[in-house]
Amino acid sequence: MIRVSLLVFVILTPDNMTRSGSLKLLNTVRDVTKTVSNQLKSTIDKTVDRLSEVTSQDPDVSSILKGPGEYVRSYGYDYHEFNVTTKDGVILSVFRVSSGFDFIANPPHQGPGFFLANMGYDVYLPNTRGNKFSSCSESTHKHFYYSSFMEMAEYDLPAIIDAILSRTGFTKLHIIGHSRGTTVTFAMLASKPEYNKKIRLFTALAPVVYPDLSPAWSILQSIMHELKGVMDCIGYSRNRIFDSSKVNDLSFGLMNPLVCSIGGGVLCSAMLNVGMNPKLLRNVEHPRLNSSRARVYAVNTPAGSTVQDFVHFFQVIQTEKFAKFDYDDKPACYPVDKTNQIVYGQSTPPEYKLENINVPLVVFHSKDDTFAGPDGVAKLRQKVGKLVVNGGWYYIEKSKWLHLDYLWAMDAVQLVYLNVLRHLRESDKLEDGHVRDLDELFALYQTDTKNYISLI
């Protein structure tokens, strides 16, 4: 079966098959997919029943399934949720913790969202198109899922920023971005310079602008064009992907509370570790993730994305250019009638002009991060290094500190967020009062981190 799948990808290359032949084969693939789906339905139904039993045993999982608000309030925090409508009509949910889900998945003493709320900040957790907390009208967005971080930077983040500033009356805010959140923010600031004046400080955790990939991920990159062609023609690209709450999604079989209850969550933690860096099987030797929270992570992780977003990332890797989406490099079944000339007025997608950015910057990165690796981060520094505030470039030397550790590591507050807080306070020039004294913070949170962080 595996060989057949690989053959499909090889056969679909333009050099080996005509378009009509490709469509005939893809129709066969579609029929096979439908048959397999029917056979799996009864198995999935039984899995869902068992899943309900497991989730009822963990109060955090049960509350999260009812919604982020139920979960946040269960820890005694105020919670508000509101919708933001972008200029092109997409509706996005924004979560406010008085004081996206990944930042609050750990309990208050470990979760960065809760930590910053404790320090006196109102924390807004935005969502972007493609994930489970976004929606649209099918009549106005027929091709809603044919979007990437380009649309998020063009429409989503600007709308969210404007909505928050309007609701609060402030003229500026802080942005703390992780992974794709940094991608979207850099793209927005580069392409919409007017938003630079609305950002007081941008903290980039594991910035993914020039992504580095391990050899294991590079294999996927090598077949991405053919893979997207298959997904387009069987309809997979027209739906949200990597949504662990959908029983017909591949990620559901890998990340759901039932699977993550096995072995006290060790299995799911191991899968997350391997996904972040296949070379580093660290779960037993370096248990940085809290395995007991694995079922909680699995409820909303992953929360969904689009095929086109992944294609766009691999385009950046292949071309080594942080540029807008290439509409001319698309498969035969791509339904959107767009070309680079139509959209951009030129034959190639324009690069994002990072020189347009004029926002104070703080950066955190680590040596073992597969996606924000040393080479890519070094290239980013050449572009935006002059924006980094004094002492604001952090290199985490701690062994096997991976991409998701910024969000979920049990020592993330000590290694990362105490330093984030320093720069927030310096930027705001706040008086001690409604923000707790830093000496008291260190007494509560600090561990010996001096050997693991370098100020470069």
Q: Summarize pLDDT for 286-308 with one digit per residue, the tens.
A: 456 666 665 565 555 555 567 78
pLDDT at site 22:
45
Are β-strands 361-366 and 134-135 bridged in parallel, bridged antiparallel, or unpaired? Answer: unpaired
- Contacting residues for 95 by C-beta, under 8 A, at least 6 apart: 68, 69, 72, 79, 80, 81, 101, 124, 125, 126, 127
Question: Among 90-94, 286-290, 366-370, whose mean pLDDT is lowest?
Answer: 286-290
- Contacting residues for 132 by C-beta, under 8 A, at least 6 apart: 240, 243, 245, 300, 303, 304
Closest by alpha carbon to 93, among 280, 303, 267, 296?
303
Given pLDDT bands bounded at 50, 70 and 90, which one contains residue 175? very high
Residues 281 and 274: their CA atoms lie apart, in Å, by 6
pLDDT at site 250:
54
Mean predicted confidence (pLDDT) in 254-265: 56
* Boundaries of domain holding 311: 2-455
Q: What is the 3-state secondary structure of 141-187?
A: CCCCCCCCHHHHHHHHHHHHHHHHHHHHCCCCEEEEEECHHHHHHHH
- Contacting residues for 425 by C-beta, under 8 A, at least 6 apart: 435, 438
Q: Please, what's the largest Cα pairwise distance for the chain?
A: 71
Mean predicted confidence (pLDDT) in 191-200: 95
Mean predicted confidence (pLDDT) in 57-80: 68
> In terms of pLDDT, which residue wins out, 345 or 405?
345
**How many CA within 13 A on the CB side of residue 427?**
24
Given pLDDT bands bounded at 50, 70 and 90, which one contains residue 360? very high
Mean predicted confidence (pLDDT) in 19-43: 53
Residues 250 and 236: their CA atoms lie apart, in Å, by 12
Q: Are 272 and 264 in contact (CB under 8 A)?
A: no
Residues 229 and 217: their CA atoms lie apart, in Å, by 19
Given pLDDT bands bounded at 50, 70 and 90, which one contains residue 358? very high
Whole-angstrom Cα Rg for the chain:
22
Closest by alpha carbon to 369, among 329, 394, 399?
399
pLDDT in tens, 391-432: 999 999 887 788 888 887 888 888 898 999 999 888 887 434
Question: Among 94-98, 162-166, 252-256, whose mean pLDDT is lowest?
Answer: 252-256
Mean predicted confidence (pLDDT) in 60-83: 71
Q: Is the pLDDT of residue 15 over 50?
A: no
Q: What is the CATH number of the domain that holds 63?
A: 3.40.50.1820
Q: How many domains does the chain have?
A: 1
User: What residues are paired with 69 via a beta bridge?
Assistant: none
Given pLDDT bands bounded at 50, 70 and 90, which one contains residue 451? very low
pLDDT in tens, 97-131: 754 444 454 555 556 777 888 777 888 888 777 66
pTM: 0.72
> In terms of pLDDT, which residue wins out, 224 or 139?
224
Amino acid 165 reads L
For residue 372, what is the DSSP state? S
Q: Is the pLDDT of residue 454 over 50?
A: no
Q: Is the pLDDT of residue 316 over 70?
A: yes
Of 78-92, 139-153, 231-245, 384-398, highest mean pLDDT: 384-398
pLDDT at site 289:
66
Mean pLDDT (the chain) is 71
